[in-house]
Every structure is written in C-alpha cells, then in structure tokens.
C-alpha cells in the first residue's frame, strides 16, 4: 500500500493530536462518522449472514463483506489493523498513523477512552514498536509519548512502554525521564523511576510482579 493511500484514508487522524482545539474537533467528528460507517457496514453484513445462513456463494453476502472491509480501512483504529513483520515496522508506511493512535491516548486520554477505547490494539502496537531501527522522527515521537505516560496516573497497558524505552534508550531519554521523576506528582515519581530502573537493568523482565514490587518499594519510601 502506498504512502498516498495511507494519507488519503487516515490523514485526518493527524488532527486528533493537534494543539488547535478546532482541528481536534473536526478530526473527532470525522472519527465518529467513519466509526458509524463501519458499524452500519457490520450490521448489513450480519443481516446478510443471518439471512443466507452464512452462504458465501450468495452475491449480496459477499458484497456486504467487501463493503465492511472497505469501511474498516477508513476507520480508526480499524484502518491500522494489519500484520507487519518486526523488521518492517520502523519503515512501514502505516507507522505514522499508529503513532497518532498512541499519541491521541497519551495526550487526551479521557477523549480517547470515550471514542476509541481499544486496549488490545494499544498493547499490540506497543509490543510491535519495541524493535530497533526506528528513524529519528519516530524515536522523538516515542520519547515525547514516554514523558507524557510516566507523568500521569497509570492506565491499562502503560507498562508496555518499557519495551519501547529499551529500544530507544539514550542518555537524553534517561535525562528526560529523570526530570519527570523529580516532579512532585507521586505518579510521575512512581512511573519514571520504574522505567529508569528497567533501563539500568535490561535483563530484568517487565512483568506484573516486578512492577508490583517497584510500587511497594516506592510507597515504603514516601
């Protein structure tokens, strides 16, 4: 799929992370409209499925399936639901739109939760992005997201950002995280010190048990 194809379908998602409220509102309306189109196509497909008893030889049923697939390509995040090999992720043309999805949740978590709550998609892409070879612009966007994530209260799947921190690790990133850890916000201290500790100990598994021990240890010191 070409870069032009991606931008034509999902270029509007840049507005979801815009600093300009009016641009975010326009993008949100577009998001809601495409979501409604995906849902309507799904309902039509389900109707044909029940009517034909899943008879794939029925032309109307096959057409409804094609229409649903087409609608999903313009939805968000359904438009980024694709299998990509790990080695291809850093240069995949759909990557900017994946970053838009994650950055939308990082910058405007309440809005994201209301209109695009896909925790499984978030986790899947955080795992997929934890690979070496990202270009500088991607590394910067991921580092900026990490700063936002560690400075806020923990949200579902946030722990998966550790894998990304490890592949973009640098003295600059550690300095940025250390600066967050010095904030008076207790969540910032908790999250930032955890990521820093995981960077200093790359052999340590990023498991729920390790996270819980870190939380307990921090609480004993406050």
> Which pLDDT belongs to residue 217?
82
Mean pLDDT of 26-30: 98
> Which pLDDT belongs to residue 221?
58
pLDDT digits (tens, 9 = 90+) for 35-64: 999 999 999 999 988 888 878 888 888 899
> Which pLDDT belongs to residue 220?
60
pLDDT digits (tens, 9 = 90+) for 121-134: 999 999 999 999 99
Q: In this structure, what token pair is assigned to residue 97?
A: 């739109």
> Which pLDDT belongs to residue 120?
95
């Amino acid at each position: 799929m070409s870069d032009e194809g991606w931008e034509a379908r999902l270029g509007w998602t840049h507005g979801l992370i815009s600093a300009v409220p009016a641009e975010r509102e326009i993008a949100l309306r577009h998001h809601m409209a495409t979501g409604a189109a995906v849902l309507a196509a799904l309902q039509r497909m389900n109707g044909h499925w029940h009517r034909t008893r899943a008879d794939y030889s029925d032309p109307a049923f096959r057409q409804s399936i094609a229409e649903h697939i087409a609608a999903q390509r313009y939805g968000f995040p359904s438009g980024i639901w694709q299998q990509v090999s790990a080695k291809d992720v850093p240069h995949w043309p759909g990557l900017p739109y994946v970053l838009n999805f994650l950055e939308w949740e990082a910058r405007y978590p309440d809005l994201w939760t209301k209109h695009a709550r896909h925790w499984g998609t978030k986790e899947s892409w955080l795992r997929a992005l934890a690979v070496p070879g990202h270009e500088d612009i991607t590394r910067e966007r991921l580092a900026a997201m990490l700063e936002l994530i560690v400075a806020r209260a923990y949200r579902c799947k946030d722990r998966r950002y550790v894998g990304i921190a490890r592949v973009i690790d640098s003295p600059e990133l550690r300095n940025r995280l250390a600066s967050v850890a010095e904030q008076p916000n207790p969540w910032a201290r908790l999250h930032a010190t955890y990521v820093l500790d995981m960077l200093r100990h790359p052999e340590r598994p990023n498991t729920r048990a390790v996270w819980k021990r870190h939380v307990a240890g921090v609480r004993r010191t406050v």
